[in-house]
Structure 1
Amino acid sequence: MNDASHDRARFTAMTEGTQADWQIIASHFVPFAASGGKRILDHLRLLDGDFGGFPVDRLQHSLQTATRAHRDGRPDDYVVMALIHDIGDTLGAYNHPDIAAAIIKPFVSEELHWITAQHGVFQGYYFFHHLGMDRDLRENFRGHPHFEACAEFCEKYDQAAFDPSYDSAPLSFFEPMVMSLFEHPQQSLYARVVDNAA
């Protein structure tokens, strides 16, 4: 039996940790973090076959949203945001935008993060009134610098992405974009660890 414990920190509480312990942990963190795109793709696959009553399943909705954005000439980071905007559906039925926004935050601009975080309220413009809710809740954000960008994302790509006959690109098409985006953060408390390892 191969004992790999020599490649693990030896503390039982962080107060006992040494620089050697944290160098071991950092040596594991860097490759793990760099393969985040693979885990994103794996999680997107969990949306396959999950219709939730919609005309298309959640994966097809995600692919359709991203395909529409790509075909409209959006940059790769925007397309990936469009692809994963509903990735939180399986984990947070009541706050799926927050989950997607937390995942993508270190890797995109403040604008793309804000669109991801607020798209649920903005998307509500198209259906909240059918559920006895205020469809104009997005007006609470009127005047925000990213209001129009979020409204445009929902109008052009998100609310229009439920067409069973739409010819979406497959998930494999987006894989290089996802892998590239999630390889290195733009901003993160831990980005320095990655930079030091490079």
Structure 2
Amino acid sequence: MDQVSFTQMKDGTAEDYALLERLEDQFNEGLVERLKLALRKLDDGLSGYKVSRLEHSLQSAARAEADGADDDLVVATLLHDLGDELAPYNHSQLAAAIIRPYVRAEVTWIIHHHGLFQKFYYGHFYGEDRNEREIYKDHPWYQKCVDFCERYDQAAFDPDYPTPPLEHFEPALRRVFARKPFDPDVIGEEPAGGFDSRV
């Protein structure tokens, strides 16, 4: 097996880092398969809802697709709860980190903040401020996140909704994750303030 010569990164050579870059590129070719595997794990996750987390994710993405959303938003919607298993208290930020190199900044912002915005529907039942999302009321993407939660996320717990299988979304996943990471022509610019660490 090919390995680098160093035991500390500071001692690496150009050849070492060329090797690592080649191996990383090969590994990253399997990203979509790993994402699909992670999504399938949501089928056995958190219980109590009328649908599994996987079905919720598929249904959310199907709703976005039916609404005419582009690949960025459909794929982001499919992956929006991917962090539930490993980061239950900041799942939104984990999902946003996964998509950030590949989609426009607006979509990453929506996914990053959807957990906070979603509290509008239930926060008051836990003694929390359901309107906490209002701290972003002047943000240019505020309404987009409100719409995401209303149309795609909170509405996607219906066992009777015609939900396509994961394979239906594979072409869009492959198109998005085949992009050059952090391509400024794709990502664009974030507005002042960027991503708030509070949510």
TM over 0.5: yes
User: 128-137 vs 29-38, which deviates more?
Assistant: 29-38
Give the structure 2 partner of residue 196 of structure 1: none
Question: Are 1:36 and 1:179, in contact at CA under 8 Å, matched by a contact in 2?
Answer: no
Distance 1:121 1:115, change over 3 A: same
Name the counterpart of 1:12: 7
Gaps of 5+ in 2: 184-199
Once the two structures are overlaid, the 10-residue window that deviates more, 59-68 or 26-35, is 26-35
How far apart, in 2, do the equivalents of 1:124 and 1:142 lie? 15
Q: Report Cα offsets for 1:21-77 as digits up to 9, x if no partner.
A: 111111111122232111111100110132431121100000000000011111111
**Separation in 1 of the partners of 2:39 and 2:83?**
9
1:15-164 correspondence to structure 2 within 5 Å: 15-164=10-159
**Equivalent position SS for 1:41:** helix
Matching residue's letter, 2:3: R
**SS in structure 1 opposite 2:39?**
helix
Identity of aligned residues (%): 44
State how far apart, in whole Å, the 1-side matches of 2:91 and 2:45 are.
15
Structure-1 separation of matches of 2:138 and 2:69:
24
SS at match of 1:56: coil
User: RMSD across aligned C-alpha pairs, in angstroms?
Assistant: 1.2
* More moved, 119-128 vs 178-187: 178-187
What is the DSSP-based 3-state SS (H/G/I as helix, E as strand, rest coil) of the residue aligned with 1:47? helix
Aligned to 2:190: none
Structure 1: which 5+ runs fail to align?
189-198
Q: Which residue of 1 is the match for residue 188 of structure 2?
A: none
Take 2:126 and 2:90, find their aligned partners in 1: how far apart are those partners?
A: 17
Task: Report which of the two structures shows the higher radius of gyration computed on alpha carbons.
Answer: 1
CA contact (8 A) 1:37 1:180 kept: no
Aligned partners of 1:61 and 1:162 also within 8 Å:
yes
The residue type paired with residue 14 of structure 2 is Q
Partner AA of 2:103 in structure 1: V
Which contiguous aligned blocks of 4+ residues in structure 1 show a shift greater than 6 angstroms?
Answer: none
| CA deviation string 1:57-98 (max 9, x = no partner) | 100000000000011111111100000000000001111001
Distance 1:39 1:152 in 2: 29
Report deviation, 1:183: 2.1
Q: Hey, what does 1:192 align to over in structure 2? A: none
Deviation, 1:10, is 1.4
Sort the Cα spacing of 1:14 and 1:186 in 2 relative to 1 into closer, same or farther, 3 A: closer
Kept in 2, the 8 Å contact 1:37–1:181? The answer is no
